[in-house]
């Protein structure tokens, strides 16, 4: 099991600890100052990037999954809900972008749960750094995935005929709003990632939350056709506010009321679930 160098092709050289070599690394040098909160978070973000570099398969969910979502729903509903898939796409693309990206926020919880299971968080938690840094850094890495997923969907949409009136700036503003919300929403999953037993249960819970949240909204159809009780839910659903803001930004307009609600929801997620997450993180 532990021949020191069996996996290299060369003749195995046995490691003999040399007191001299160990002395040089053990000599206590000057300790550097504790890193700032931002620097520590960015370092943890660097870890997330390295993980993407070593395990690129994990990008499957931010590339293939969004493409399938766009193609499937555009052609499934397009003819029935609008005059043609192309017309539907003008309405639907911002919504499916939100749906896809919000759905992949749950991998933050899954990833955290796996990290804890493997034991590497024990080391992070014994470091004298700003406490939330490990989690903030993890979410920084995830934000990159959100941006990637959004761009993939935008690309597919443009190919299929999506023509946003807001132009480049409008589209960027829309993606910006989406990323802000997703960053905030990720804290819900860090909390569940900490309290739930296995990555399977994190997936299970997140599906139970995400399906109603994304489908019972204005993503797929105009809520005007829904029964009153459902409209009441759709109206307060944060996804509805987010989709409305992203939609108007991409159309070159602005929707201050929905944008304000969406930002309030985002702040709420960070404050409430960020605090719950840190409470659990410190007391596990």
Partner 1 sequence: MSRRSTGLAIEADGLTKSFGDTLALSGMDLRVPAGTVYGLLGPNGAGKTTAVRVLATLLRPDGGRARVFGHDVVEQADAVRARVSLTGQYASVDEDLTGLENLMLLGRLLGHRKPAARERAERLLAAFGLTEAADRQVKKYSGGMRRRIDIAASILNTPDLLFLDEPTTGLDPRSRNQVWEIVRAVVAHGTTVLLTTQYLDEADQLAGRIAVVDHGRVIAEGTPGELKSSVGSGTVHVRLRDPGQRPEAERLLRAALGVPVQLEPDPVALTARVGGDGSDLDASEQAARALGDLSRAGVVVDDFSLGQPSLDEVFLALTDHPAVAADERDDELEAAR
Binding-site ranges for partner 1 (CB under 8 A) = 1-8, 14-19, 21-29, 31-35, 39-40, 43-44, 46-47, 50-51, 54-55, 118-120, 122-129, 133, 195-197, 283-284
Looking only at Cα atoms, what is the longest distance across the chain?
A: 79
CB of 277 to partner 1, least distance (A): 15
130 φ, ψ (degrees, to nearest 5)? -50, 125
Q: Please choose, from the candidates 167, 190, 144, the residue with its C-alpha nearest in 3D space to the C-alpha of residue 50.
A: 144
Residue 199 in contact with residue 110, Cβ under 8 Å?
Answer: yes
Give the nearer residue to partner 1 in terms of CB position, either 200 or 235: 200
Give the nearer residue to partner 1 in terms of CB position, either 4 or 264: 4
CB of 56 to partner 1, least distance (A): 11
SS3 percent helix, strand, coil of the chain, rounded to 5, is: 75, 0, 25
CB of 59 to partner 1, least distance (A): 14
Give the nearer residue to partner 1 in terms of CB position, either 197 or 224: 197
Alpha carbon distance 176, 131 (integer Å): 27
CB of 10 to partner 1, least distance (A): 8
Give the nearer residue to partner 1 in terms of CB position, either 195 or 203: 195
Give the nearer residue to partner 1 in terms of CB position, either 35 or 161: 35
Alpha carbon distance 274, 270 (integer Å): 5
CB of 12 to partner 1, least distance (A): 10
Question: In degrees to the nearest 10, what's the CA dihedral of 230, 231, 234, 235?
Answer: -150
């Amino acid at each position: 099991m532990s021949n020191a160098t069996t996996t290299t092709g060369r003749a195995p050289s046995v490691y003999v600890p040399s007191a001299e070599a160990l002395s040089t690394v053990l000599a206590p040098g000057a300790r550097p100052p504790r890193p700032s909160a931002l620097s520590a978070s960015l370092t943890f973000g660097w870890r997330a990037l390295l993980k993407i570099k070593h395990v690129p398969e994990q990008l499957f969910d931010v590339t293939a999954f969004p493409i399938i979502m766009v193609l499937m729903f555009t052609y499934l509903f397009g003819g029935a809900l609008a005059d043609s898939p192309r017309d539907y796409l003008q309405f639907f693309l911002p919504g499916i972008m939100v749906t896809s990206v919000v759905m992949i926020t749950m991998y933050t919880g899954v990833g955290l749960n796996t990290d804890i299971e493997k034991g590497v968080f024990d080391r992070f938690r014994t470091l004298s750094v700003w406490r939330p840094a490990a989690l903030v850094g993890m979410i920084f890495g995830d934000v990159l995935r959100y941006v990637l997923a959004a761009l993939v969907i935008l690309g597919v949409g443009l190919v299929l005929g999506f023509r946003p009136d807001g132009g480049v700036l409008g589209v960027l503003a829309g993606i910006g709003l989406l990323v802000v919300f997703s960053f905030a929403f990720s804290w819900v999953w860090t909390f569940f990632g900490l309290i739930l037993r296995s990555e399977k249960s994190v997936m299970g819970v997140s599906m139970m939350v995400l399906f109603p949240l994304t489908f019972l909204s204005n993503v797929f159809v105009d809520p005007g056709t829904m029964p009153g009780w459902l409209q009441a839910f759709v109206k307060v659903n944060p996804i509805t506010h987010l989709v409305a803001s992203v939609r108007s930004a991409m159309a070159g307009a602005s929707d201050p009321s929905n944008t304000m609600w969406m930002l309030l929801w985002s702040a709420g997620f960070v404050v409430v679930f960020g605090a719950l997450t840190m409470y659990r993180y410190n007391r596990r």
